[in-house]
Amino acid sequence: MSPFLGLILGILLLVPALLIAIPVHEMGHAAAAYFLGDRSVRYFGYFSPDPRRFLDPFGALAVFVALVGWGRRVPVQSNRISTLRQKVLYELGGPVANLLVAVVLGFLLRALVRAGLPYSYDLGPGLLLAALYAIVFLNLSLFAFQLLPIPGLDGWNIIEALFRNRNPRFFYDVSIRRREIWAGCVVVLIAFQFFQRVNLLQYVMAPFFEPASLISVGTCVGYTIPGLVFLYPCLL
């Protein structure tokens, strides 16, 4: 296969993965909010399968640029999601939803491989297996990425829920400087990639990604768009 065709197929296979993984993540938050007592998420249509409700343009672009991403945050009523336990469970709802989908589809992927279905980029059944692999990978990627302690991601929101009352000024300062923090993170990632030839995301995501991937597909997986980007968050 030519590098150009590999590039095109690598990108195209991410499209259905994106249309599944990001809505699953946000609907996971919505489901958590609903079961915690906030029924507004159902009223405002956050259980709709329409991906347009959940996709954020920059978060979708990040999927093709860095193989990570995010969606439009599901708003909740603060008077319904107010206790520490409720806030933490709400934030965990998105990553847990991605993990559950990755595990279920990962078992299906393993079963199809054992049944002898080929994995290939050729038109036919093998291409369906490649598309399923991309869906499993991106759900694992979102699960691990969203748990990172970066402002705006679920991991940071959990930390904020746990410790905000102890130092509200610190978390307020972080919230108003979120863009600068993200810009700094991007600069660090680019610097490591350019000078060290290292994708730093692989190392920071691995503690979450690797065990989840082992549960899902029995091995640690990665994804490559030839000539554009690769992500293999596995340390072993």
> Is there a contact between 40 and 77 (Cβ–Cβ < 8 Å)?
yes
Backbone torsion region of residue 25, taken as left when φ is above 0, otherwise alpha when ψ lies between -120 and 50, otherwise beta: alpha
DSSP 81-116: S-SHHHHHHHHHHHHHHHHHHHHHHHHHHHHHHHTT
Residue 73 DSSP code: P
Active-site annotation, residues: 26
d(CA 208, CA 214): 11
